[in-house]
Amino acid sequence: MQSQTRSNAEWIHDLGFRDDETIEALRSSLMGAAILYLHKKLPEWNVSDIRCLAEDLAQDATMQVLNNLSGFRGDSKFTTWAYSFVINLAAHDLTLRRHGNIRIDDKKDPMRYLASLLRGQSADAENLAERRNILEIISGIIESLPERQRKAVIGVCLKQLPAQTVAESVGLNTNALYKCLHDARIKILAGLKSKYLTLGDIYATFEE
């Protein structure tokens, strides 16, 4: 069923039962709303950077909507209510950027950036020992993740497989997969911190 044709009651019912197709329709709609908002607010950004940020915002907003379904009162279209979550997240992100309070660690999606390093997309200048050491640390942290988190990261971030395909392969629904990736990201960043590394250090090492 297309998101435009779902009634408010159908959205609430299907999301309440964590229907994968409906969750993906919600995430896609939220991402579209985020892209439109970001294009207006960040005309100087390129399409790829806007899409990456919109994907991250849509994932977080999807979790927020699912956790706040009981707060929908039916005074508007469900999608209008849901869009407020992703727009609020986007506005907060832009406020932090505008006032210079954002840490370098927040400037990129950590999972995408670290995955790109492991795929060799950002490490092709000089094969320095420091770079090899960092890649080994990142790889080791990912390997030490719980099995489902490890497979989710490898499938979605490294192999770039569709989320639905990865979810099925690890026995999760799409919503649970996003939560799994979120938990994995927290553990990866904590693992880097335990090695006295920040993403700022990694950016400085790999980016010319």
Tokens of 52: 């990456």
Tokens of 151: 């497979």
Residue type, 203: Y
- CA-CA distances (angstroms) from residue 102 to 43, 94, 96? 20, 9, 5
Give the domains, in start order, of the chain with CATH numbers: 3-102 (1.10.1740.10), 106-206 (1.10.10.10)
Residues whose CB falls within 8 Å of the CB of residue 137, separated by 6 or more in sequence, listed in order: 191, 192, 195, 197
Q: What is the pLDDT of residues 153-184, one digit of tens each?
A: 999 888 888 888 899 999 998 888 888 888 88
| DSSP state for residue 68 in the 8-state scheme | T
pLDDT value for 97: 65
Q: For 187, left (φ over 0), alpha (ψ -120 to 50), or beta?
A: alpha
SS3 category, 98: helix
Which residues of the chain register pLDDT less than 70?
A: 1-4, 95-109, 121-129, 204, 207-208
